[in-house]
Amino acid sequence: MTASARHAPTWADFDESPAAEINGRSPLAELGSLLRRNRSELDAAARAGAESRIRGLRALAEQAVLAIELEKLLERRAPGSDGRAGSPVDAALWALKDRMLAQIAASGLEVIRLSGASACAVVDIVEIVCWRFDDAYSSEIVAEELEVAVRLDGAPLRMGRVVIGAPHRSQGLAHTASAGTGATARPRRTGRACDGPAGRARDHVPRRGLWRR
């Protein structure tokens, strides 16, 4: 027998020592943590996408207001039965305006024309710039549309701006919205009496006021 064989180690030559305890998380707990983190990231991405869409639709609503402003300018330039008589340039501008409004409608936006509407019917979608008191009005109505309103899925996206016409007898009355009575809401008396001898609103610059969802 060789010397190496005589001195081969046996289990008796080793000292037993306890192994370090490992307190690792279970695979199920790790999977749950990963799923929660992924869900949080997906929710954040969805919110960012929704906010980006609303910003784009608000910008499109501003284009709708400008398209209607263009329409009003063209109507004043070429009055007629259909408002479209005029030069070839006018005809091209009418066609451009129609395409703009068609694209806006295709995006799901609804342009609300306000002239002649009952003040009560549009109280939730307009800003009242001023009041025009004249006994020619039998009730409170939109006497002048300064800027159209725009809705998305039935909810206001951009407030319109209007002049309200009302009979003299209602001047000075404090109108407040009816609450809890089931009655139709009436417009709050906001804004001022219109300036000028004719009671018309001053020339205005379209304002970028937005109704945020």
Tell me the pLDDT of the chain averaged across its residues: 79
Q: Is the pLDDT of residue 20 over 50?
A: yes
Non-local (6+) Cβ contacts of 157 within 8 A are 57, 58, 61, 109, 150, 151, 210, 211, 213
Q: Say how many residues make up the chain.
A: 213
Burial letters for 76-104: b for 16+ Cβ neighbours within 10 Å, e otherwise?
A: eebeeeebeebeeebeebbeebeebbeeb
Give me the percent of the chain exceeding a pLDDT of 90.
48
Q: Which amino acid is at 6?
A: R
For 144, other C-beta atoms within 10 Å of its C-beta total 19
Most confidently modeled range among 23-32, 68-77, 84-93 = 68-77
Q: Tell me which of 57-61, 67-71, 203-207 is least confident.
A: 203-207
Taking only the tens place, the pLDDT of each residue in 139-178 is 999 999 999 999 999 999 999 999 999 998 766 553 433 3
Average pLDDT over residues 55-73: 94
Could you tell me if 193 and 130 are in contact, meaning their C-beta atoms sit under 8 angstroms apart?
yes
For 142, other C-beta atoms within 10 Å of its C-beta total 23
Beta strands per DSSP E along the chain: 109-112, 126-133, 141-147, 149-152, 155-158, 160-166, 192-193
Query: Does residue 154 sit in helix, strand or coil?
Result: coil
